[in-house]
Structure 1
Amino acid sequence: MEIKAPRVRLDPWSEGDLDLLRGMNAPELMEHLGGPETDEQVLKRHRRYVELSADRTGKGRMFRVVLLPGDGEAEQPVGTVGFWEQTWNGEAVYESGWGVLTAYHGRGIAPAATTAVVHEARTAGKHRFLHAFPSVDNAPSNAVCRKAGFTLRGEVDFEYPVGHPMRCNNWRLDLTAS
């Protein structure tokens, strides 16, 4: 039996995406990220996403993940995905992160969106590597990394958010490889 990947579109993050970000702040979605943020923190994150998406210098982009029509469903925003500059072990790289609303889990949306953002990071052409740092305990996000073509480099200690130490897997994808 062949499982068909969902069709998604990435739209640059905009002022109108605040309600989606609030939906992404659910306890079950923030479990591996230090827990839900305050509304003030969500507003700051929204502002950072809008600014990053307006930047055209290759620093990165944030996107709204839109599930395209299929199986009788209408087009709808279902999550977030993006990439941004980061320094890792003294090297300038991109880092990536994603999230999908709980009601849409298990449908292959996160791997499809992450694969699409890999293309965006390649197109930006500024850094060779794209990293992702999901918690070692976050099996679904680690599976997204595998499905999107990242290579596991090992476990690392990470602090996210500031003051919240966690053990993460360091996944890396070479953006210059075909």
Structure 2
Amino acid sequence: MDLVRIEPWQEGDLDLLRRINTPEMKRYVGGPESEEKLLARHRRYVDFAGTGQGCMFRVVALPEGAAVGSIGYWERVWHGETVYEMGWSILPAYQGRGLASAALRVAVAQARARRTHRYAHAFPSVDNAASNAVCRKAGFTLLGETEFEFPPGELMRSHDWQRDLTAGPE
């Protein structure tokens, strides 16, 4: 049985983004954003699918159908190559159920289907054990530690996880 489905981010998902924007949820990525930045992020998420550069999704837990988080992929240049970067958030009440790794596998399949870039990367903080475990469970390979800029203007110690999108499903 599928644990999740992912659906393109919509106008009505602003409340979900606000529920993700908490000190607990944002502790590894610089803390919560201001309302102004949150509204700008929401607008980018809604408009993103039409750009051809990636997509943001809400994560829906099955069978209950509750929106429980976000996941997405977007283009970035990494070590001179254009790749997809992937990121996700699952609300605390739904963590520990395998939803993030299930959503990541679905998002990887969507990115793979685009046939645009060979690799997807994720850059969780070295201190974020749960997100690093999600990468491992979703078939990513740990390349090592790196300095990664997030939020913009701040460097954090991250793990660089890579997934070959030309390889078949795990």
- TM interval, short-chain normalised: over 0.9
Match for residue 97 of structure 2? 107
Choose which of 40, 57, 60 in structure 2 pairs with 1:66. Answer: 60
Normalising by structure 2, what TM-score? 0.96
Structure 1 position 92, deviation (Å)? 0.5
Superposed counterparts of 1:26-105, under 5 Å: 26-55=22-51, 57=52, 59-69=53-63, 74-105=64-95
CA deviations 1:8-53 (Å, max 9, x no partner) are 1110001110000000001111000000000111101101111112
CA deviations 1:88-143 (Å, max 9, x no partner) are 01101000000000111111100000010000100111000000000000000000
| Equivalent position SS for 1:32 | coil
Q: What is the alpha-carbon root mean square deviation over aligned residues?
A: 1.0
- Name the count of aligned residue pairs: 168
Match for residue 110 of structure 2? 120
Paired amino acid for 2:118: R
Paired amino acid for 2:98: G
Q: For residues 134 and 146 of structure 2, what CA distance do their matches in structure 1 show? A: 18
Q: For residues 137 and 79 of structure 1, what CA distance do their matches in structure 2 show? A: 21
Q: For residues 38 and 104 of structure 2, what CA distance do their matches in structure 1 show? A: 22
Unaligned runs of 5+ in 2: none
Paired amino acid for 2:147: D
Any runs of at least 4 consecutive aligned residues in structure 1 with deviations exceeding 2 A, and if so which? none
Unaligned runs of 5+ in 1: none
Q: For residues 9 and 153 of structure 1, what CA distance do their matches in structure 2 show? A: 28
